[in-house]
């Protein structure tokens, strides 16, 4: 038996879980989503993810046809039906079925589906030894055009940057905003450490307000590390003592080289490792249990 998918109130086998070719999520990327982790039977920070889902939906004026409690129940049940103890959840709300025009008001009801499976973004050795990234020509969308605080289905901006990274021989891209400030990577937030101070770009530059990002910031402050959200350029990245990325799918991963410049001593830093360990310690206890 394949995966069991939640789709508009039903739990269906993967082969039977289908959406219309007229769904505006497919036709126009009109919808919102969340990527959520499961660790040892705990859905990590599920309520925070759902809060962000509803905020994203409000931004694009999309009515989610389920309450937060109903989404929690559906997510937990989807995980249970797939016997998943550790893995990845993709919760998607599209505008729903409409016509071939753009008008969202011609889509009478949103489509909701939930996939509970697994994901692996990077090789294991990247987590142990660190990874290399490059800055790419594609800049982050301007917030005036599409605010990065909304986690929408329209990811073409990130995909183009990902292609450029792959063409350069690496797995991840550093994206700048239109003014040349560091925004984020294609699917991850970025952090620097310089003389014991941790820097990360503010969300108004086009960075997603990541759930993992917020978790790392909280953990750093508990460790007494000063965290500053402020604009910075690639110069600051190059002279950093440590660098790492965070994201639900990527978790937390060290970066040891950017644009050919070695970061620090070329190895994952001590503070990076400490925060990764602290993060791993909370993942199985901070969230909604499926048992």
Residues 290, 283: contact at Cβ < 8 Å?
no
Whether residues 43 and 139 share a domain: the answer is: no
Kindly report the number of other CB atoms within 10 A of residue 143's CB atom. Answer: 18
In tens, the pLDDT along 199-254 reads 999 999 999 999 999 999 999 999 999 999 999 999 999 999 999 999 999 999 99
- Residues involved in catalysis: 151
Place of tokens 């965290």: 227
287 in a domain, yes or no? no
Whether residues 70 and 103 share a domain: the answer is: yes
290 in a domain, yes or no? no
Rounded to the nearest 5 degrees, what angle is found at the Cα of 254, between the Cα atoms of 199 and 285?
A: 85
Whether residues 110 and 135 share a domain: the answer is: no
Query: How far is 164 from 159, CA to CA, in rounded Å?
Result: 9
Counting Cα atoms < 13 Å in the Cβ hemisphere of 265 gives: 4
- Which domain range does residue 246 map to? 124-282
pTM: predicted TM-score of the whole model, two decimal places: 0.95
Question: Of the candidates 117, 148, 181, which is a domain's last residue?
Answer: 117
Question: Of the candidates 80, 97, 117, which is a domain's last residue?
Answer: 117
Number of domains in the chain: 2
Kindly report the number of other CB atoms within 10 A of residue 243's CB atom. Answer: 27
291 in a domain, yes or no? no
Whether residues 202 and 250 share a domain: the answer is: yes
Contacts of 280 (CB under 8 A, 6+ apart): none
278 in a domain, yes or no? yes
Please name the helix (run of DSSP H) or strand (run of DSSP E) that holds residue 55, with its range, or none. helix 46-59
Question: Regarding beta strands 131-135 and 172-176, do their DSSP bridges make them parallel or antiparallel, or are they unpaired?
Answer: parallel
49 in a domain, yes or no? yes
**Can you give the pLDDT of all 291 residues of the chain as single tens digits?**
689 999 999 999 999 999 999 999 999 999 999 999 999 999 999 999 999 999 999 999 999 999 999 999 999 999 999 999 999 999 999 999 999 999 999 999 999 999 999 999 899 999 999 999 999 999 999 999 999 999 999 999 999 999 999 999 999 999 999 999 999 999 999 999 999 999 999 999 999 999 999 999 999 999 999 999 999 999 999 999 999 999 999 999 999 999 999 999 999 999 999 999 999 999 999 999 998
Query: How far is 227 from 219, CA to CA, in rounded Å?
Result: 10
Which token pair is 220? Answer: 């750093």
Whether residues 61 and 157 share a domain: the answer is: no
The CATH number assigned to the domain holding 81 equals: 3.30.470.10
């Amino acid at each position: 038996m394949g995966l069991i998918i939640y789709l508009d109130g039903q739990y269906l086998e993967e082969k039977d879980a289908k959406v219309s070719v007229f769904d505006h999520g497919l036709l126009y990327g009109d919808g919102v989503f969340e990527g959520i982790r499961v660790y040892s039977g705990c859905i990590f920070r599920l309520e925070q993810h759902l809060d962000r889902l509803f905020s994203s939906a409000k931004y694009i004026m999309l009515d989610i046809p389920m309450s937060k409690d109903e989404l929690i129940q559906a997510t937990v049940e989807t995980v249970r039906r797939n016997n998943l103890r550790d893995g990845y959840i993709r919760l998607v709300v599209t505008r729903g079925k409409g016509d071939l025009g753009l008008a969202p008001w011609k889509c009478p009801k949103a489509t909701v589906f939930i996939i509970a499976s697994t994901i692996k973004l990077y090789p294991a050795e990247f987590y142990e030894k660190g990874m290399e990234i490059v800055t790419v020509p594609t800049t982050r969308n301007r917030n005036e055009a599409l605010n990065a605080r909304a986690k929408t289905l329209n990811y073409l901006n990130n995909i183009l940057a990902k292609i450029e990274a792959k063409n350069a021989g690496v797995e991840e891209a550093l994206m700048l905003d239109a003014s040349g400030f560091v925004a984020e990577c294609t699917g991850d937030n970025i952090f620097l450490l310089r003389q014991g101070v941790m820097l990360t770009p503010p969300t108004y530059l086009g960075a997603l307000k990541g759930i993992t990002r917020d978790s790392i910031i909280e953990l750093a402050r508990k460790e007494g590390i000063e965290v500053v959200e402020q604009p910075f350029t690639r110069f600051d990245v190059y002279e950093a003592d440590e660098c790492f990325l965070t994201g639900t799918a990527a978790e937390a991963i060290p970066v040891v080289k950017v644009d050919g410049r070695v970061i620090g001593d070329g190895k994952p830093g001590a503070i990076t490792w400490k925060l990764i360990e602290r993060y791993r310690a909370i993942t199985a206890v901070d969230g909604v249990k499926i048992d």
